Amino acid sequence: MEKLEAKIGYAFTDKTLLETALTHTSYANEAKQKVPNNERLEFLGDSVLSFVVADWLFNGKARLPEGELTRKRASLVCEPALAGFARQLGLGQYMRLGKGEEMSGGRNRASILADAFEALIAAIYLDGGAKEAADFILPYVQNAADAGG
């Protein structure tokens, strides 16, 4: 986990948040004892991500109309974009997956990676606050936007 913390530039105070963010439902379902999975964090992370991107676009894109802002935000928070951000981090290698998911290529599945990226955002938000979450998100978003995303 320390390696991932170094990659993301954030050290968790509550390491269980990071562990939960990286735990897929398939792992939790196969565990002998109850293990939390990343679905609730994914829910929160989606909202934090959308807010951070909307704020960045609104304040940084000179007077674009609402429709254009909406299109740009959608392109930056969609599954392919988030899976790409997760791949840049190598997030798949840190995931806790069930045996079946592991064997069927889950570590590189776009939906799993995108969900884990959102869960990671929520974990950072809960552990460190909105500024830390935005500091994590914005480099990915800015690079994607510069590349035409």
Name the residues annotated as catalytic.
Answer: 46, 118
Looking at residue 87, its amino acid is: R
Nearest to 142 by CA among 57, 42, 71: 57
Nearest to 111 by CA among 50, 24, 30, 45: 24
Distance CA 6, CA 89 (A): 11
Helix pair angle (39-60, 130-146), 10° resolution = 60
Distance CA 82, CA 56 (A): 17
Q: Chain centroid to CA 10: how far?
A: 14
* 10 close to 128: Cβ distance less than 8 angstroms: yes
